[in-house]
Amino acid sequence: MKRRKTIKIKVGDVVVGGDAPVSVQSMTKTDTKDTDATLRQINRLISEGCEIVRVAVKNSADIKPFEKIAARAKIPVIADIHFDYRLAVRAAEAGASCVRINPGNIGSSERLKFVVDCLKKHKIPMRIGVNSGSLEAELLKKYKRPAPEALAQSALKNIRLVEEFGFHNLKVSIKSTSVRDTYDAYTLLASKTNYPFHIGITEAGTLFSGTVKSAAGIGGLLLEGIGDTVRVSLTADPVEEVRVAREILKSLGLRKFGPEIISCPTCGRKEIDVVKIALEVEKLTAFIKKPMTIAVMGCSVNGPGEAREADIGIAGGKNIGIIFKNGRIIKKVPPGKLLGEFKKIIKKL
In the chain, domain spans: 9-251, 259-348
* Domain 259-348 -> CATH class: alpha beta
Sheet strands side by side (includes 320-325): 259-263, 292-297, 312-317, 320-325, 328-333
Identity of the amino acid at 194: N
* Domain 9-251 -> CATH class: alpha beta
Q: Do the Cβ atoms of 101 and 115 come closer than 8 Å?
A: yes
- Give the whole-number percent of the chain exceeding pLDDT 70: 95
Q: Do the Cβ atoms of 238 and 27 come closer than 8 Å?
A: yes
Rg of the chain over Cα atoms, rounded to whole angstroms, equals 23
Rounded to 5 degrees, φ, ψ at 30 are -95, 170
Query: pLDDT digits over 242-284, tens only?
Result: 999 999 999 999 998 888 888 878 777 666 777 888 888 888 7
Query: pLDDT digits over 10-28, tens only?
Result: 999 999 999 999 999 999 9
CA-nearest of 55, 50, 92, 56 to 74 is 50
Q: Do the Cβ atoms of 296 and 320 come closer than 8 Å?
A: no
Query: pLDDT digits over 102-129, tens only?
Result: 877 777 888 999 999 999 999 999 999 8
Going by pLDDT thresholds of 50, 70 and 90, the confidence category of residue 181 is very high
pLDDT at 186: 97
Find the Cα–Cα–Cα–Cα dihedral 266, 270, 275, 281, rounded to 10°: -110
Three-class SS of the chain: CCCCCCCCEEECCEEECCCCCCEEEEECCCCCCCHHHHHHHHHHHHHCCCCEEEEECCCHHHHHHHHHHHHHCCCCEEEECCCCHHHHHHHHHCCCCEEEECHHHCCCHHHHHHHHHHHHHHCCCEEEEEEHHHCCHHHHHHHCCCCHHHHHHHHHHHHHHHHCCCCCCEEEEEECCCHHHHHHHHHHHHCCCCCCEEECCCCCCEHHHHHHHHHHHHHHHHHCCCCCEEECCCECCHHHHHHHHHHHHHHCCCCCCCEEEEECCCCCCCCCCHHHHHHHHHHHCCCCCCCEEEEEECCCCCHHHHCCCCCEEEEEECCEEEEEECCEEEEEECHHHHHHHHHHHHHHC
pLDDT at 271: 67
Q: β-strand 9-11 against 14-16: which pairing, if any?
A: antiparallel
Identity of the amino acid at 337: K
Query: pTM for the whole thing?
Result: 0.88
- The reply to whether 9-251 and 259-348 are identical in fold is no
pLDDT at 301: 59
